[in-house]
Chain A
Amino acid sequence: MRPDLQLIDKFISPGSRVLDLGCGDGTLLSHLQNNKQVTGIGLEIDEDNIEQCIDKGVDVIEQNLDSGLANFQAGSFDTVLLAQTLQALSKPEQLIDDMLRIGRYGIVTFPNFGNWKSRLYLATRGRMPVSRFMPYEWYDTPNIHFCTVKDFDTLCREKNIRVLQRTVVDSEHQGSIAGRLWPNLLGEIAIYHLTREQ
């Protein structure tokens, strides 16, 4: 399983209801269904991914996140996930609002554009960074809303969203003491556990 998905696992309580926005091939939900007895539904638009979800016994709804989540009722899930998808949304702020309306908890993971490698890449080459985690050129990237850990912290503060836990990891998905000290500089992937509850 993708290491960032393993990191998500610890935030999910056994037997809970989980909505996975952009669930991919259903790997995480399948894992959570089999190991934590969660009831899961995924949203996905890629045809091949949808078929792989069905193959895995994961319920999946063909729905574009950019069309909103009005069909989901407030409080109808325990946790709503958004893994590595935030940066590809046309209205990420609206979707985060929706997430925390539908779910008691939200989990958001995204590639941290403030990582020193991106900064160095841009500073030395003067071009948009391309790396293993951001493998696209600027003109063909689905990622239209990159942000940094600092940016996301600010958004949460402005929207009065409570950050229960923030983890950043490097490309090996290892956390470190230095990463805790300078998350925006050293973290390559950020994982946020959020709630509206105070």
Chain B
Amino acid sequence: MTDVSASAHASFRPSMLIYDRRYRSLTFQVIVFILVMAALWWLIGNTISNLNAMGKSFDFGFLFQRAGYDISGTPIPYTGNDSHLRATVVGLLNTLIVSILGCIAATILGVAVGVARLSKNWLFARLMTVYVEIFRNIPLLLWILVIYAVFTEILPAPNAYRGDDPAWSMILFDHVALTNRYTAIPTLGMDNDPGSLDLGARVTVNWATIAFVVALVGGWFVRRAINAHAQKVQDRTGVRPATLWKNLAVMILPSLFLIWYFGLHLLPPALKGFNFTGGLNITNSLVVLWLALTLYTAAFIAEIVRAGILAVSRGQSEAAFALGLRPKRTMNLVILPQALRVIIPPLISQYLNLTKNSSLAIAVGYMDLRGTLGGTTLNQTGRELEAIVLMMLIYLTLSLIISAGMNVFNSRVKLKER
């Protein structure tokens, strides 16, 4: 017996590849690797031979051809004479717009509902539970279709605003008109237009926008400096200087000045011809998609928030009260930081889900990435392989960026273990 084991250690036999735990995993990995490579090779080989048989090629040249179709709702200038690439970018921007708007609104609504479900108010808490259960258990596609139907069937055509005694009138002091095509909102007009910065590719940014961004970001930094200084004074003397008015001033005054300087005012939309003009018409497909994504995702976020708050044990808040912290500070300093740690990871996946679900824009004809690149472009050029591969890569990149960004944030709120 000893002889056998000694020799096994001394020399290598092929059977050891299976029976020796040191080699087994290696054998297994090599086999799996070979299988995966073979499968890939087989798939790629098939694809090449299929493409050859159909006389097609795999190239992205079609992106630079003239697109020829029009898109409703373009964040950057676009006409049918532009290339498919530009149409793709327009689609991507539309996807981003609805995703970002959706994430923000869903977070606000979700947190509110999640807290309301924990409220002591019997009626309101029950109502919120009904809302959450209904939205969580019915497919998103149905919500999109229903909200779309609500918008088209219940809201009036722009025609209803016509005449001396219109059937519908504009709301918010004649500034906003709800129609079954779009929501007409005012745009900003300037008496003193500073002109625009040309970023190339017909994308321009108004200098006024830049000025506002600079003013806000600058204000935020100044505010931080003021607060840091106040902290220092407090550490030294024990008395914190009043910062509220200073903070408000640096945040608001520059903007007020800019508004006065550029002569900013609202240009309300007015009915002219078939449609409202003069203002900004936000297409209903965007509003519907945004609303549906928000309501649907908020139901999930509400559950996450509720679970997160419940996950903080009662002892924590009791301990904080015992230390003499007031309820608000208890919430800010004790409960929230702990709850956030539970809330953030699932919240990230909800943001990811929302972004991916925005591809259901197909149901309402919102021209997002799937509608342009994966829809009309694919159809007009017949390049399904390239278009879908490119579309998947873009979505994948988006997802990876979101999860990477959120992971950074996550690691910052993570419990510091020392």
* A complexed with B: no
Instruction: List A residues at the B interface (Cβ < 8 Å).
Output: none
